[in-house]
Each structure stands twice: as structure tokens, then as C-alpha cells.
Structure 1
Amino acid sequence: MMLPNILWLSLGMANLALARPTNQSSLCEIDMNPNIDDIRFTSYANLVKSARLSSGHRYRYVFKTPFNSSIPTLLFLHGWPETSYSWVNQIEYFTRHGYGIVAPDMLGTGGTDNPDDLESFTFKRTASEMVELLECEGVGRVVGVGHDIGSGQLSRIENYYPDRLSALAFLTLGYSPPGTDFTSATIDASDQASRALFGYPLLQYWHFNAEDRAPAIADQHLDALYNIAYGADVNYVRNISEPGALEQWLLADGRIFFYNEFLTEVTLDQWRTIMLAQGGMEGSFKWYRAMMRGYNTADEQALMASTDPTVTKRSLFIVGDNDPLAIPNLQLNQTTPYLPYLTVRTAPTRHFMQAEAARDVNRHLHDFLRGLEN
């Protein structure tokens, strides 16, 4: 990954101390001016920092304090194949409305470090790093907002650090109760069930994503990956659902229509710029390797044995009514038993709703946040 520009090294330890929040751990080093060459033309570039945590990992993240102490801070956790850039429409909107923002590039993505070991990509370890990042900035409780793999990360922050979340919002993928373990065996079992129910395996592409050779193929065919992820064709799942289909799509440089108000050639160019500048997609695929190869298994078993899966906080779940991967009814059936104070909303979108239907997502999330005041 790209090495950050360590401003504090050139300015000296005195200036480093001034840049740090007063309650910050001595092991947390905040760089107020990280390398942002890849996101320089985004609307939030002036809000970006980086911080080295006690693990040694450096995270790049968007940070904005709330307009006043009565307005909450939102922690945005993205999925795959994304970075904090996937939240650009939410960062713009909620910043205008005075909310605090913490939106990290998750481990291995964007300007955040890409460690070699897969142990670093477990949900337990990364949950602790998200909490430490909040502590670095002196942020207490937040409203967590997760999408895709970020929803799994949000679930584990709630399970391990429930005092850090005041409310939870899930996009497309719902709550993952303790014991949820996406190993190769569980993915195969899920695909057998989904083929019987829906006519196609929902998660077969995970097998390709977990292969060591997948990042190099994706890096050589980034536009095809963007098209299949964000394309407007609701039947696109046929291109990735069967064994080997995603790889074949990439190698053929497949294309489908993806333009709308928020997804344009410019957003494709920006996404591609981030991926290429940060050394490609190697790090983002490690999340799949860690899951599929059982690196979360021991943690999930221990958590299931020790933790009440019920979340008694107010929660929001926005489902995409055209999502062919996170099927709304299936997701709701898996989520609602554990979240008794759940609000459900629907957006006219497929999987990447924060980009595909930004206005709907922002409206639903803002309504939910206003409701927390009552």
C-alpha cells in the first residue's frame, strides 16, 4: 500500500503533541496531512487524516467533528470492493447537516495499511481497531452505519464493545449474530440452499475472491469489476453466480450499463484511481481469505458461547428491493429476531445502495437519526 506522508516526523514531536487529542493513547500517532493524491479531487479530501494504532496499522479516514455536542457522530463502515469513497454522498449530506463523521478506509483498502497476515483481517481484531480509532479522536459513542462486510464489522463492534454504539444502521446486509462464520463449508451450504430457493447460488463468487490469484486478475480488469458491482442490470447475478463466472466476466472485460445520477464515468475514474494508487485490490480480497479459511471461527465460537445475541438499541435496516445478493426477505428473517427495536426501510436499488440510491438512503438514515432525539 502507499506509504503515508508523515507530517509529524518533519515537524517534530512538539507539533505532534499539538495535533493529538488530549485523551489520546501515547501509541496513537495522528497524521493531519496524509498522502491524499488519489482522492485529492473528492469533496471530502480536506477532512482526511491518518492514524497509526497500537497494532502498528495505519488507517486513513475521514473525520469531522459534529456542529455541536447534541449532534451525534456517525461511523461509516464500507464493504467490498470499496473504500471510504463509497460514502461520499453520505459524507457530503450529513456534514451539511452538522453530524460528526468517522469514515475509515477499512484494513487493506484505500490509504489504510495492508498487512501480510490474515489474522489481522478478523472481525474481532478490526473491531478493536475501530474502537481505538474513535479513542484516538476522543470520540465517545457513535451511531454505526455498515454496508456489506461493514455490516458484519458493525455487528462485532456491538458484540464486543456495546458501550461505543448508541444506535446501529445496516444497509443491504443485516445483523450477523455471534457464531456467524463464513467459511468455505458454510458458503457451500448456503449456496445449495439458495439454489433451491432462488435458482442460483448467492455467494459462489466468494470462492474466487478467496483465491490468491484473484487480486491480480481484478487489478487487470478493474472496469469490468466496477461494471458488475455497480451495473444497473438487475439480472447481472447470472454473470457471477455460477462457479468460475466472475473470473470469466473479468477476463472478458464484461460491461453493463451503470450510469445514474450518482454513478458516472467520473465516479468510475475516481474509484479506479484509488485502487491503482494504493497498489491494487490485494488487501481488500484478504477479508474473503480470512473468512473462507476459518480465521474467524474460534472467535465466533467463543462469542456465541459468551454473548447474548439480542441488540436492544434502536436500529435501522435499509434493504434494496432489487438486491440479488442480499435478498431482502432472507436478510430480514435473519435480522429481525435479534433486533426488537428495528426500523425497516426499502430503497429502489440493488446491492450498493449508498451509491445507487443516495437520496433514498440519506433520507431514511436522516429520519432515523431525527427519531433518536425523541
Structure 2
Amino acid sequence: MSSTRVIKANGIELFIREAGQGPLVVLCHGWPELSYSWRHQIPALAEAGFHVVAPDMRGYGASAAPADVTAYSIFDTVGDVVGLVQALGETRAMVVGHDWGAPVAWHAALFRPDIFSAVAGLSVPPPFRGRGKPLDLLRQGGVTNFYWQYFQAPGVAEAELERDVARTMRIVLGGRGLADPSAAMFVQEGKGFLGHATTEEPLPAWLSETDLAYFTETFRKSGFRGGLNWYRNLDRNWELTAPWQDAQIHQPSLFIAGSKDAVITGLIGAKRVNELERVLPNLTRKLIIEGAGHWVQQERPEEVNAALVKFLREASAR
């Protein structure tokens, strides 16, 4: 059974779910999610002989949500994970991240190889620091309606997503009735981020009404600003990571994604998945789970758990 508590790390309070004993594994969730998103992994990894800790990341759930937009840079979010390891009385850990949690995990391994001995990223490939700021490159490419851009102006996305939180979570997590999921990443004029959702589809088999109610109630209390502030640091993160241009992550690494995940099926995502070894010279496995979408660890827990257990066991035995 997992337990929960609040722990002070990196100058803020983080709510964590925790289980098991053994080598430390930190699980970092993405947007718009919670430590609850790892509900299938926590018991499986604990049973496999690991001390598993999953925080509500900065800005989410019961963790602190600083008001300042600049408090959500990659240095702050990685700093939280470093601080968490220290607050738990450990000096070494393995780190796993999904969605926005994946860049945190990749950068944790990149910035602090002395702490993070192995890294797994789900759905989002490792950092390929491009030739310019992400938002500048979108504009230069003639793109003005990508969801990253829509999320930039404080208050706009918050107002839309918070208008009916139950509907928001049902659409974002449960699916939008779209034949092409990548279309959901583009915001039609006047329609907002949720404008593509034409029908209230039944929930997918992997997401119960109880699960949805937990996400809904938590975001109803916290709002969406904290999570959206991560997106408001995209260009700043590019500037801050200049010293790591073309750097590699040399620890053992694992990449997992769903074959139907729009993050990896688009032109840029597909290219990055094909070139993982450029950044990850010690990539042990690239697992693309056929038929799975973006919420891969919730959609296909058995396959994800098996891959993680094998990887973490081998990495901790080194």
C-alpha cells in the first residue's frame, strides 16, 4: 500500500505518494495530471523491490504553486526533484517522467549525473536543443495556433479550462472524439483549446469515473495556472539550457511511447524518436506500444510496468 505525505524540498512543499523499500525511483507526471497518474506503477515498482516516490509536481494538486510565472523553469522543476532526493535522505536515485515530467527526468539526468544513475522518459523524447526558441520557431514557420501559443497569455487558458473542470478533464484525458489526435494540438480561432471536442465520448476502458472524479476534484481546488506556467517558460528554458547545447545523457536510458501518441507521430516527434541515440548513447530500449495513445502508463500499465521493472533492476544492479 502506498502512503502520502507532504515533504519540504527546494524551498517549497511537495505532496508525495510513496511505497516500498530499496533503490529510490522518482516518478514525475505531466500536464494536466497528478501523482495519481502513476497509481498503477507505484505498487508494481514497490513490489519489485524499489522505494517509489511520486510527487504532485510544482504547481499541481496538493503541492505548492508559486505565483510567479518564472518559478516554473526547468531549473526549478529539476531542482525540486534534486531537493526531493536529498529530503528523503538519499544521494542516488533513478528518475522516470511522462509528458512534461519527461523533460524534467531527462534534464535531471543531464544536469546531475552524480545523483541520477538511470533515466526513463515516456511519450516525450529527450532534449534536442534546437537552433532557436521554440515559440520563435513556430512563428517563423507560419504557425500561430499551436496550443503552446494559446497557453502563453496568463488567464486565457485558465478561464477556458476552469469553466467546467469535469468536462475539461473528460475531454483532455478521456479523448476528444477525433480521428486525428494531432488536430487537438491546434486551436481554431474563437474555439479555444477544447473546441475540437464535438461529442462527449464514453470514457476509455483505462479511465474509470472514479479516476476522473479524483482528477476533477483536485483541479477544481488547485486550478490550472500552475501547470500552464510550465508552458510559459518554454523559451526561457531554451535560453537557460544553452550550456548543454548538443550534450548527451550517458546514463542507462529507456524510452516508451504509444504508437498513436500525437507527440511522436508528428514530423518533429517522429524525427526525434528516430534519432534518440544522438542524445542517449546508452539507450537500452525504445518501446513503442502498438495502439496506445499519450497517457501510456495509465492506458497500458502491464507493458509499461514490465519494461520499467526490467530496466530499473538492470540499472540498479550496475
Q: Above 0.5 in TM-score?
A: yes
Change (3 A) 1:251 1:368: closer
What is the CA distance between 1:204 and its match in structure 2? 1.1
Whole-Å Cα distance in 1 between the matches of residues 308 and 9 of structure 2? 30
Partner of 2:262: 324
Tell whether the 8 Å contact from 2:109 to 2:117 is kept in structure 1 after alignment.
no
What 5-or-longer segments of structure 2 have no aligned partner? none
Instruction: Report which of the two structures shows the higher radius of gyration computed on alpha carbons.
Output: 1
What is the CA distance between 1:295 and its match in structure 2? 2.6
Tell whether the 8 Å contact from 2:121 to 2:254 is kept in structure 1 after alignment.
yes
Query: Superposition RMSD on alpha carbons, in Å?
Result: 2.6
- The DSSP-based 3-state class of the residue aligned with 2:311 is helix
Partner of 1:357: 300
Partner of 2:159: 216
Partner of 1:90: 41
What is the CA distance between 1:59 and its match in structure 2? 1.2
Residue by residue, what CA displacement relative to the aligned partner does 1:101-125 show, whole Å, maximum 9, x if unpaired?
1211111001111111122100012
- The one-letter amino acid of 2:251's match is K
One of 259, 274, 277 as aligned partner of 2:218? 274
Whole-Å Cα distance in 2 between the matches of residues 181 and 324 of structure 1? 23
Whole-Å Cα distance in 1 between the matches of residues 199 and 139 of structure 2? 26
- The one-letter amino acid of 2:218's match is I
Q: How many residues align?
A: 309
One of 51, 55, 62 as aligned partner of 1:104? 55
- Whether 1:144 aligns to 2:95 is yes
Whole-Å Cα distance in 2 between the matches of residues 290 and 339 of structure 1? 24
Residue by residue, what CA displacement relative to the aligned partner does 1:305-354 show, whole Å, maximum 9, x if unpaired?
xxx61122211111211112232633313422111221111213111101
Change (3 A) 1:54 1:264: closer
- The one-letter amino acid of 1:151's match is A
What is the CA distance between 1:275 and its match in structure 2? 1.0
Structure 1 residues 257-336: aligned runs within 5 Å: 257-260=202-205, 262-277=206-221, 279-291=222-234, 294-304=235-245, 309-327=247-265, 329-336=270-277
Change (3 A) 1:190 1:103: farther
Whole-Å Cα distance in 2 between the matches of residues 191 and 326 of structure 1? 21
What 5-or-longer segments of structure 1 have no aligned partner? 1-42, 193-200
What is the CA distance between 1:83 and its match in structure 2? 1.1
Residue by residue, what CA displacement relative to the aligned partner does 1:162-199 show, whole Å, maximum 9, x if unpaired?
1111111111111114568764213445786xxxxxxx
Tell whether the 8 Å contact from 1:53 to 1:132 is kept in structure 2 after alignment.
yes
- The DSSP-based 3-state class of the residue aligned with 1:229 is helix
What is the CA distance between 1:54 and its match in structure 2? 4.8
Tell whether the 8 Å contact from 2:254 to 2:286 is kept in structure 1 after alignment.
yes
Whole-Å Cα distance in 2 between the matches of residues 73 and 353 of structure 1? 22
- The DSSP-based 3-state class of the residue aligned with 1:144 is strand
- The DSSP-based 3-state class of the residue aligned with 1:74 is strand
- The one-letter amino acid of 1:249's match is L
- The one-letter amino acid of 1:49's match is R
- The one-letter amino acid of 2:314's match is G
Tell whether the 8 Å contact from 1:173 to 1:331 is kept in structure 2 after alignment.
no
- Whether 1:59 aligns to 2:14 is yes
Change (3 A) 1:310 1:253: same
- The DSSP-based 3-state class of the residue aligned with 1:295 is helix
Whole-Å Cα distance in 2 between the matches of residues 220 and 253 of structure 1? 17
- The one-letter amino acid of 1:80's match is W
Change (3 A) 1:326 1:270: same
Whole-Å Cα distance in 1 between the matches of residues 258 and 273 of structure 2? 11
Tell whether the 8 Å contact from 2:38 to 2:298 is kept in structure 1 after alignment.
yes
- Whether 1:256 aligns to 2:197 is no
Partner of 1:171: 122
Whole-Å Cα distance in 1 between the matches of residues 79 and 298 of structure 2? 28
- The one-letter amino acid of 1:339's match is L
Whole-Å Cα distance in 2 between the matches of residues 121 and 50 of structure 1? 19
Higher relative contact order (CA 8 A, sep 6+): 2
Partner of 2:281: 340
- The one-letter amino acid of 1:282's match is R
Whole-Å Cα distance in 1 between the matches of residues 161 and 187 of structure 2? 18
Whole-Å Cα distance in 2 between the matches of residues 96 and 250 of structure 1? 42
What is the CA distance between 1:97 and its match in structure 2? 2.4
What is the CA distance between 1:359 and its match in structure 2? 1.3
